[in-house]
């Protein structure tokens, strides 16, 4: 199974593609798509959509896994992350691919064994599971790979798509 992991954000959107073959995980791709605050919203969302779609098509993803965001007092941030999620949902719909969501603690628990792991511990486990010398330099790319791995760990349990 090939999964596109997404760390959603309007300024920095992390993408990570992982393929599982048997009991082996293969790193296929990681990047951070960046937009600028001074760009019009349609241009920003359009760029995210284009990179998401291109990546999903290129690697033939069978599922998209996103980090679910929890915002309590950051309404503007939540609204703008919603723009990124809209791009994810449009790509998924266009390709007929399900979208699954995992919270930050679920991702940490899946990779490190407990939900309060720090970013460095998660990055080390991403590198270990994917047989990389080190995790990607950009946190958003590492987070996207961690989300993809989390879905692969949970896929056998039959999670429900968003």
User: Is 67 among the catalytic positions?
Assistant: yes
pTM of the model: 0.94
Distance of CA 79 to the CA centre of its chain: 18
Helix, strand, or coil (residue 145):
helix
Give the residue from 139, 152, 140 showing the smallest Cα distance to 110: 152
Q: How confident is the model at residue 66 (pLDDT cuts 50, 70, 90)?
A: very high
Both tokens assigned to 12: 């920095």
Share of the chain above pLDDT 90, in %: 85
pLDDT digits (tens, 9 = 90+) for 88-143: 999 999 999 999 999 999 999 999 999 999 999 999 999 999 999 999 999 999 99
CB atoms inside a 10 Å sphere around CB 20: 17
* Secondary structure E strands in 52-94: 63-67
Domain boundaries, the chain: 2-157
Among 20, 29, 31, 67, which one carries the catalytic annotation?
67
154: which 2 tokens?
């949970």
- Give catalytic status of residue 12 as yes or no: no
Task: Give the pLDDT score at 81.
Answer: 85
Characterize the bridge pairing of strands 12-21 and 2-7. antiparallel
Q: What value, to the nearest 5°, has the Cα angle with vertex 66 and ends 46 and 27? A: 95
Supply the CATH classification number for the domain 2-157.
Answer: 3.30.420.10
Instruction: Give 9's DSSP letter.
Output: -
Binding site members for Mg(2+): 7, 67, 140
Residue from 53, 140, 143, 151 carrying the catalytic annotation: 140
Given the residues 7, 31, 39, 50, the one annotated as active site? 7
């Amino acid at each position: 199974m090939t999964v596109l992991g997404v760390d959603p954000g309007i300024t920095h959107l992390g993408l990570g593609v992982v393929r599982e073959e048997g009991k082996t995980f293969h790193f296929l791709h990681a990047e951070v798509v960046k937009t600028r605050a001074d760009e019009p919203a349609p241009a920003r969302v359009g760029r995210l959509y284009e990179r998401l779609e291109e990546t999903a098509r290129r690697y033939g993803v069978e599922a998209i896994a996103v980090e679910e965001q929890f915002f309590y007092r950051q309404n503007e941030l939540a609204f703008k992350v919603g723009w990124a999620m809209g791009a994810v949902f449009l790509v998924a719909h266009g390709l007929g691919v399900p979208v699954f969501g995992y919270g930050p603690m679920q991702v940490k628990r899946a990779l490190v064994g407990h939900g309060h792991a720090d970013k460095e511990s998660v990055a080390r486990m991403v590198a270990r599971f994917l047989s990389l010398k080190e995790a990607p330099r950009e946190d958003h790319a590492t987070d996207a790979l961690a989300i993809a791995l989390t879905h692969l760990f949970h896929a056998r349990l039959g999670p429900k798509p968003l």
